[in-house]
Structure formats: C-alpha cells, structure tokens
Chain A
C-alpha cells in the first residue's frame, strides 16, 4: 500500500496506539473520580496537555481538549459571537477556509453579522495587507487558516495578525492550524493568535480528539456545557484514551518538525520533477506552499477516475479534499485554478515516512493512466 492521503488522515503511530490501548484496558478511570484510578486518568490528561502546550510553546492552562478541530473551530466562532460579537458585528475570514470554519461563520452571517471573506488575488496569493484591510474597529473575530488543506498554501498569518492586534487589540484572532501543526512550528504567540485549533488524527494520532488553544484573557463562551470539565470550558467526561494517544503522537513528532520538513521538501522536489516528465500535468502547489501537500491536475482525466485507477494498485490519493466528497472544490476555484483543471485535480499529501520509490511508483502509474484511460473532453 502506498498511502499519499495524509491530509485526510494519517496512520496512527505505534506510540499513540499503545497509549490508547493502555488507557482503555488498564487506566480506565474517570478523571473526575476521587479515588486512585481517577487520579491516574487525570495524570494521563495532565501529561498530554503538557505535551501539547510545550509543542505550542504556551502555558498548559491555555490548552483545552475537544472532540476535534471541527469542534474547536465551532467553539471559537460561536463563542466569540456570543461574547464580543454582541457589540462588534463584523467577522473577517478568507474564502479558502475549511467548512468547519466557513459554515459556522455563514450561519452567523444569516443571523445578522457582516462577514468579509478575503479572496486570493489574481496570482492565487492572499496578502497580509488584504486581511488587515478588511478588519475594522467593529470586528469581533478574524479567523484564517495557517495552511490550506487542498493546496498546501501557507497564509501570512503572523504578519497579518501582528498588525491586527496592534491596530485593534480587542479583536480575537483565530488560526485553524490543523494542516500546519507538527509540520512547521506553530507558536500562538509568534502567530499573534488568540486561539488556535488542532487535530490529532492529522499528526498520526487518533480520530475524535483535538485541542483548542485560548490565550489568557481571551473571552470565548463555552460551546458545550454540562459537568464543567476542562475548567468549565468544554464539558463531557474526557476521552482519556484518545487524549493519551494525542499526547503520545505529539511527543513523538515534536522533536522532529524541522527534520521531517526537510525530508518532505526533498520528496516534493522529487515528485514535482518526476511528474513534470508526464505530458500536460499542471502542479497547482507552488514552491511557496507547504511541501506536505502537492495538488496536481492530470489533463482530460477526471479526478475520481484517476483516484480509482490508482486505487487498483493500492495507491491512495484524494480528489480535492476528502471533506467535500463528490462536490466540486470551491477552494481551488478561489485559488484561480481553471475549471477544467479543477475537474482533473488530485491531491497527493505526504508524510515523512513516504519514500522517493513510492512517488516513482505513483508517477509511473499516472503515466499508465494517461496511456490507458479514455480521455474526457
């Protein structure tokens, strides 16, 4: 099997699986229980929280566990709207966000908020200036992703958020860092982000768990209320096994961020030069993009057909993004990629364990696809 769909999800690492199994089979206590079993579970959470906090370079008290990035993003959008949003009615975001940010914001738009969606310019670039220019005194929230999930495009978050926080200190800055975390340094302070969303299953951890960083003093109302877990910010008995798996994955990946980035940059260079040998292929991810994601278009072959063709050889890629299954990607359109190419786009998303040989295999199968598959017009 050649797995090249790591932006959809990753294979959980051995360390994460072991931590999960152990927390499921032995340390199964409720962290809120007063007895020893409960205390053991609580300490597992504490240690995972430390791991995430140290990876972010932040205080442990700023890290909250959630059921995943979708919940983290919903929490920020609705939680800010309910607080600062009572006075300030503008929200600034981009037109290339993940649906878990875009949809909650659209919902608020229907409820009366003014929403500014910053689009890439004619070169497919989003500049810090264009984001800053959209913000005004009346803006409660700016929410922009760090790395785009379909192309790997890196947004100028630090530059934009620094200016915004200087001009409008009250405005909450939120960054969805799902595709960046453990791939490039993610430090909320350097990003000038008041809130940061993370997901475990994109970093070789389990599905169903994520985190939200909230800077001290930032007012976000809780999204899920109940038993008062996570200091009342996120109720619900903590999923100790998933949190343990998340922590283990962070511990494993944290020391190797720069080393892996170098490895994957090499892989991307290898892939791009190999794929350029094929006739008519367009690489949609520029050199400025995060090398983990490479979006390409294979002319005259539908994305889904190419995907299923590769699947026959146990090579797994994605068409656009896995989250918008069956739908045409509006994000690629926003990045100014022509319609005809969007229909033929496949996303190759790598991890450091992939090898140049695997990529060679992919490219030779793509060549075979070009030769064998009947072309669409």
Chain B
C-alpha cells in the first residue's frame, strides 16, 4: 500500500493576506530538511502539504517533520484510486490499527474534486457502513469519536488517514526575523533558542571561549549543542568569540564581586556589534530570573543598560525543572551536562553582588578601557554554519 505524509499547517493557516509568505517559508524549511532524501514530491493544497517519499524514507521524513515549526499535525495517509470500492478496501485495511483499539469512530470526507460521483455526506455514510460491518465492535459517534477516519478526494488520488500526531507547532523558522542567541554550554541557552525558533525566529548563536581556561572539548560540546538545536532551528550561524584577554583584564582591574556582571555587559556589547554586522535584530539569552546571582532583576537592569537592541529571555519565568523537561525533549540535556569548564565558571567570584547598582557597575567598568579589546574580540570572531545531522 502506497503511503504519503500529510503535514497540516498550524497557526499560519489563520493568517490573512500574507499567508502565502508564511507558507513559502514553511515549505522551504521542509524541503531543506528533507533535501538529502531522493525523489521527494511535494504538493500543497488547502493548508496541507502532501509529501511523497520513497517508501523506505517515509518514517525518516516523518521523524524530521515532527521537528519543523509551523506544522500543527502530521499523519501518514494511504493512497487509493479515486474509486469508492478501492477507497473502502484501502480504508478497512489501513485503519485497522487505529480502529481495533477504539470504541467509537466517525468518517470524515473532503471532496476537493467535485467531479467525484459521490458527495461528501454520501462518502461518510457509505464508508461508515462498510467500516462498521468490518469492525462490529465499533459504534459511531459523530461528536466525540476516539478515531476519525478521513478520506480526502484530490485531483490525482484519494487519501485515507486515521492517526494524527502532533507536529512541533509554532511558526515557520525565519518568518519572524533573525536573532542572536548567547549560547554557553549549560542547560538554559539551548532551550531559549528552541523557544524563539518555535515562534519563527531564525537563530544564530554566539559562544565565548577563553582558552586556555576553557578547552577545545568545551567548544566542541557547544557546537554539538548547536547541531542538536538545528534539528528544530534549521541551519545555525555559529560565532565563536575569543574572550580570554577581556576576562583576564576584568579580573585584574575590576572589583571581584562585580566580575560576572561586567563580563555579561561586555558579552552583550560584543554580541550586539556582531548582530548588527550580520543583520540580526535582537539578542536572546537563557536567563531565568533569580536562578543565579547574575540573573537577579537588579543584575539584568545593569546588563540591559548597555543593550541597544531588544534582549529576549524566553526562559525568564521558568523553573529549572521546566527547562530540563524541554532540554530532554529536544535532546540537548545529555550534551549540556557533560563536565567541561565554560567561560562563565572559570573566574566565578566567591561572593557575587546580587543587587548591583548601575552607577557602581559603570564606575567599576570604567577602571579599564575595554574598548580596544572589545573591538579586537569582534574582529577575531570566527563564524561558520552548523547543520543538523542527517
């Protein structure tokens, strides 16, 4: 039995005149995600994308499509001739798995090809009858059925499906602009990136490394996080900033208890300069309020004072447990917990200030002229793209 995948659009189906723009982005994302599979055919109609792959690729394609934002529901559908006898035969066979576990069902029909000799209500009634006689344990419930068997009559074929699975939801990546994520090696920042991507934001990532205080393995770990995120976020533009000298100078010249906050301010400064260069319009961080000393509201006031573009913090109101739950779901958890030093932990002060005052922080930062080092860090940043593993 030939099978195809139906991807039902989510929120974008509700958009108005610019719906096509969103749709184009989604279809482009889907095609890119399946680009290595040979001979895939696409057909779009009525807020659904019909994806036909080689039979051995169907499951792979389905797994990948589950991670494409903008798709609300997914299902595999059986293809049948546009002939009611064939439709019934295929439906009885194909819906077996779903129906044998169910108590109630209904049949839904969508007749896009109006030349088909039966009307939708006729199809529903007739097919319902056939299914009932094949599965006598079932009862019809048109309001709240356990299973809905859907028949779609299209130009070329009829499609039958019974099991819908949830897609990733959200908006197609790239349809809501581009932002720069500050990616450490921890649990929070990949989740923050995921959440922005879910709302259609294309994510670039920036990482600060401090060799020899941090190792090549620490950077490789962050790259692996980005590769994992790319399954949802699409290709990620990755930037790696050499940060050692700046950290050493903060340590030498500024008060210890303000080390982290000044470091965060300089990171934001470097990030927004690179964001402007790369035409990205916002910053994203994994901060969650009150999680650590540098993530108090007072501390965020001090970091945001240097920012000339919006800073989005999608994890701000989440508990660690909620963040971990998402990290597990998107597969970044196991990578994040690997034990390598990252740039945030190396110089951590013994007693960081939890309620820093902006004027004090600015005065402390003014003790040393960081501008030449910031410029150097921006210039020496290495940028490259990372793709999801196929």
> A217 near B: Cβ within 8 Å?
no
B347 in contact with A374 (CB, 8 Å): yes
Task: Give CA–CA (A309, B212) in the complex, Å.
Answer: 5
A373 in contact with B339 (CB, 8 Å): no
Chain A contacts for B211, CB-based, 8 A: 308, 312
B212 in contact with A377 (CB, 8 Å): no
Query: From residue B244, how far is it (CB to closest CB) to chain A in Å?
Result: 9
Task: Choose one: A310, A311, A374; the contact of B248 (CB below 8 Å).
Answer: A374
B339 in contact with A312 (CB, 8 Å): no
Task: Give CA–CA (A137, B86) in the complex, Å.
Answer: 81
A326 in contact with B340 (CB, 8 Å): yes
A326 in contact with B339 (CB, 8 Å): yes
Task: Give CA–CA (A307, B340) in the complex, Å.
Answer: 14
Query: From residue A162, how far is it (CB to closest CB) to chain B in Å?
Result: 43
Chain A contacts for B213, CB-based, 8 A: 302, 305, 308, 373-374
B340 in contact with A311 (CB, 8 Å): no
Task: Give CA–CA (A312, B346) in the complex, Å.
Answer: 18
> B251 near A: Cβ within 8 Å?
yes
Closest residue of chain A to B213 (Cβ to Cβ) is A305
Chain B contacts for A312, CB-based, 8 A: 211-212
- For residues 292 through 339 of chain B, which have their beta carbon under 8 Å from a beta carbon of chain A? 338-339
- For residues 318 through 364 of chain A, which have their beta carbon under 8 Å from a beta carbon of chain B? 326-327
> A304 near B: Cβ within 8 Å?
yes
Query: From residue B303, how far is it (CB to closest CB) to chain A in Å?
Result: 22
* Central interface residue in A305, A306, A311, by most chain B CB within 10 Å: A305
Interface size class of A (residues with CB under 8 A): 10 to 19
Chain B contacts for A308, CB-based, 8 A: 211-216
Chain B contacts for A374, CB-based, 8 A: 213, 247-248, 251-252, 347
Chain B contacts for A305, CB-based, 8 A: 212-213, 341, 346
Task: Give CA–CA (A73, B229) in the complex, Å.
Answer: 41
Task: Give CA–CA (A377, B339) in the complex, Å.
Answer: 20
Task: Choose one: B248, B251, B338, B341; the contact of A304 (CB below 8 Å).
Answer: B341
Task: Give CA–CA (A377, B347) in the complex, Å.
Answer: 10
> B390 near A: Cβ within 8 Å?
no
Query: From residue A41, how far is it (CB to closest CB) to chain B in Å?
Result: 39
> B43 near A: Cβ within 8 Å?
no
Chain A contacts for B215, CB-based, 8 A: 304, 307-308
> B143 near A: Cβ within 8 Å?
no
Interface string of B336-366 (1 = CB under 8 A from A): 0011110000110010000000000000000
Closest residue of chain B to A306 (Cβ to Cβ) is B212
Query: From residue A62, how far is it (CB to closest CB) to chain B in Å?
Result: 41
Task: Give CA–CA (A252, B375) in the complex, Å.
Answer: 55
- For residues 180 through 228 of chain B, which have their beta carbon under 8 Å from a beta carbon of chain A? 211-216
Chain A contacts for B338, CB-based, 8 A: 326
Chain A contacts for B341, CB-based, 8 A: 302, 304-305
Chain B contacts for A327, CB-based, 8 A: 339
12 A–B contacts from the bound complex (CB under 8 Å): A302-B213, A302-B341, A305-B341, A308-B212, A308-B213, A308-B215, A308-B216, A326-B338, A373-B213, A374-B213, A374-B247, A374-B248
**A residues apposed to B, CB below 8 Å:** 302, 304-312, 326-327, 373-374, 377
**B residues apposed to A, CB below 8 Å:** 211-216, 247-248, 251-252, 338-341, 346-347, 350
9 closest pairs, A vs B, by CB? Answer: A308-B212, A309-B212, A326-B339, A374-B251, A305-B213, A308-B215, A374-B248, A305-B212, A308-B211
Given A304-B341, A305-B213, A306-B212, list of 10 further CB < 8 A pairs? A302-B213, A304-B215, A305-B212, A308-B212, A308-B214, A312-B211, A326-B338, A327-B339, A373-B212, A374-B252
